[in-house]
Structure formats: structure tokens, C-alpha cells
Amino acid sequence: MTARHLISTDDLTDEELRYVVDRGDEFSSGRAVLDRPLAGQLAGIYFRKTSTRTRTAFSAGALKLGAQIIAYGPDDLQLNTGETTEDTGRVFSRMLDVLVARTSGDPAELRGWAAQDRMSVVNAMSALEHPTQAVTDLVTLQRRFGKIEQLRVLYVGEGNNSAASIALAITRYPGVHLELRTPAGYGLDPDVAARAAAHAERCGSTLVERHDMADLPPNLDAIYTTRWQTTGTAKPDPNWRDVFAPFQVTAALWQDHPRAVFLHDLPAHRGEEVTGEVLDGPASIAFDQAENKLHGAMAVLDWCRRGITS
């Protein structure tokens, strides 16, 4: 079997994206048959940066699918003594069946590890993208609404790796309207924005990005935010909090959108990007979303190791 990799959301075709999301939905609902497709396989779990949900999800998911796991911390590999990324990847591929890695750095490193056809490589977050978070988000929306097509989603906050990945994923569903409201200077990466816009044009969805909170779109189904201080990053502007302050998600947003659900990829800082009233309130499905990290991880691992099955 040729190994499949998920380093960018764009590594998935439209059909594969839908399959992985549907599979995650099946795991989440309990409809999936756990036939242990990873039995006898080894999964490496390598995290250089902190993680609660993603690391636990992929560790637990691999075990539930029948794999055994080897966990590596940031100081465990000979990369720290000068071994090249390429040599490390070649060694990994001779011993592991799948490597789940969080680097928070250049995804080129992950691409280097994926330059072989024996071991699958999964991006558990890099500087530009967080593709497994997008799978989680879509599974959560599909579980809530029964579909993703035609949904109207507002994303508020930094155009970070989570924002990039949801933009690259949800725009492939017809009729979706995704509106991003990002602080000036903290928007989507231009390449990501161009790729997402191309998906939207091709698939009949709508993508809008603005840098203010005025004139929000009507009839929202979901409002989504993430931490202002993305894991593993720092902002050079000492006054960045002043720039972000107007983009806090508060209960006032629900005055015009009473049926909207609230999503957050967590961890959350109450009183910064979102108020506690919203995060802990009746509209919040953020902790269902966190649980779906497990189901999304299982769907990704399943696809990586055996692809689309009927």
C-alpha cells in the first residue's frame, strides 16, 4: 500500500475530504464499526510544542484503531545533535507505519519526512496550517446541522493556522458562506487566501475577509474564534492586544443570530478572545468540538492507512 499523507488540507481531494469528514461523523455518532484497521501497525507521536487535545486524540485514536504508539518529546530525537531532517525521516519510515507530528514550524520539514511511500505523515499543526483541526471543525458542524452545504459561518480573530485550514476546507462545500473578520495585519496568509478563494469559485461557495466588525452577515449558523496568542508564536507589536480588542466574541453577537452555535478550537482564554458567558453558555459546542478531535483523528488515521473504502 502506498502511504497517504495529510500535511495540508489541500492534500485531500474533494472526495477524500468528504470521506474523512463523513468517517469522523460515523465515529462520533457510534455508527462506525471498529474493525481495527491499524492492528499490527506502529504510530509515532512526535510533539515539539504543547498539546492537550491533538496529542491525546491521535494517541487514543491510534490505540482504538489497533495500533501501538511510540511517543516522542521535543528533546528525544537526534535532530537536537545535528542529524538531518531527511535522515531522521528515512529512519522513521523504516520502523513506523505512521508519524503524527506537531512542529509549529515550516511544513517543508513534514514534506521531507513524507518523501517516501512506506510511512504516512500527518501534520498535527505547523506554522501555516492545522489540517486535522479543519476535519474536527467540519465533523462538528455536520454532527450539529446534518450537513455542511449552505451553512453560514463567521470566523473572528487572527488568520492563523486554524483559520487557514477551515478556509481551505469548508469552501469546498457548495453554498457555504465563510466570512472572516481578522485584525488588520493579522489576516489570512495571502497564498492561503488565494487557494481558498479558488476553491470557493470552483465549488460555488463564498469567502469574504474583512478587518473590522461592522455590518456582519445575516443569518449566521456558527460563530468561531481561536486564541489570540496562537500556540508556539509571538507577536512583534507590543500593542497587539489593542488591535485585537474589537474582535472579542461576546454575547452581543447573539442578539442578531440567536440560533448560531459557538465554536472554539481551544485552549480558550476567557476575557480575551471570548467571554466566559459565551464559552460556557448554551450556544457553545466547543467541548463537543474538542471531543470530535478524537473522531477526526481516527478518520484521518483510517484514511492514511487504507484510503477510501466502500
At 113-171, the pLDDT tens digits run 999 889 999 999 999 999 999 999 999 999 999 999 999 999 999 999 999 999 999 99
Q: What is the pLDDT of residue 199?
A: 98
Compute how many other C-beta atoms are within 10 angstroms of the C-beta atom of residue 310: 2
Instruction: Quote the longest CA-to-CA distance of the chain.
Output: 56
Domains of the chain in start order, with CATH, are 9-130+293-306 (3.40.50.1370), 133-290 (3.40.50.1370)
Closest CA to 293 of 104, 122, 60, 37: 60
Q: What whole-number distance in Å separates Cα of residue 173 and Cα of residue 147? A: 10
Tell me the three-class secondary structure of 248-309, residue by residue. CECHHHHHCCCCCEEEECCCCCECCCECHHHHCCCCECHHHHHHHHHHHHHHHHHHHHHCCC
**In whole angstroms, what is the distance from residue 286 CA to residue 263 CA?**
5
Distance CA 8, CA 33 (A): 28
pTM summary value: 0.95
So what's the pLDDT on residue 35?
86
CA 91, 60, 29, 292 dihedral sign is negative
Return the pLDDT at 117: 86
Residue 234: other Cβ atoms inside 10 A = 7
